[in-house]
Chain A
């Protein structure tokens, strides 16, 4: 069964804590992405990685960190420096087309709530 998985589905964090969201794909995709979605809004890019051991900041990287040690995995850490982390977090992966971005496949999301 090919796909992209995220865990946990729901996550609660106390103020001042770091938490890590998991994202795994078995689609053999080179590129992986993390997005944040706030209620009634579109997706904003946090970080992305086009290849193992390399990643770039997106539009709202402050307060977040990532790693890409394996092709299949792209975990996101929400640090205590992120002032308003309550949101829905989506991970995606894609292959790379010549001259463009291919279809992105999304995981089911993690809903993070700060208590």
Chain B
């Protein structure tokens, strides 16, 4: 079952702008992960944030996690055309037997 839900479904921004997308989930988690998928390709892992962490950075990516609100956000700063892709959050629910539940994704288009 899909636990995570991303918002918005689609986002179009100008190159150089920041892109923010959100993920909400329903049950307690061990960790939350963000992945990127270019059209017609496999997913690529971006960042993993554990339930006891509140914020994590990796290059131009910033992820926050609020377990009290059961939500996470992914911020991409200074976007580039190469950031055009779909972004998925995936939750590792407690007691869920080493499985990830993926949301439907946010499609980001970066205009040159």
Q: B-contacting residues of A (Cβ < 8 Å)?
A: 31, 33, 35, 40-45, 48, 50, 56, 58-59, 88, 90, 92, 94, 96, 99-109, 111
Chain B: interface residue total (CB-CB under 8 A): 27
Partner of A90, one of B42, B50, B104: B42
Chain A contact residues: over half helix, strand or loop, or mixed?
strand
Chain A contacts for B92, CB-based, 8 A: 100-101
Question: B13-21, B55-63, B70-78, B95-103: which one contacts chain A?
Answer: B95-103
Task: A111 to B41: give the CA distance in the assembly, Å.
Answer: 10
- Contact residues of B with A, CB < 8 Å? 1-2, 4, 30-31, 33, 35, 40-45, 48, 50, 88, 90, 92, 97-105
A101 engages B40 (CB within 8 Å): no
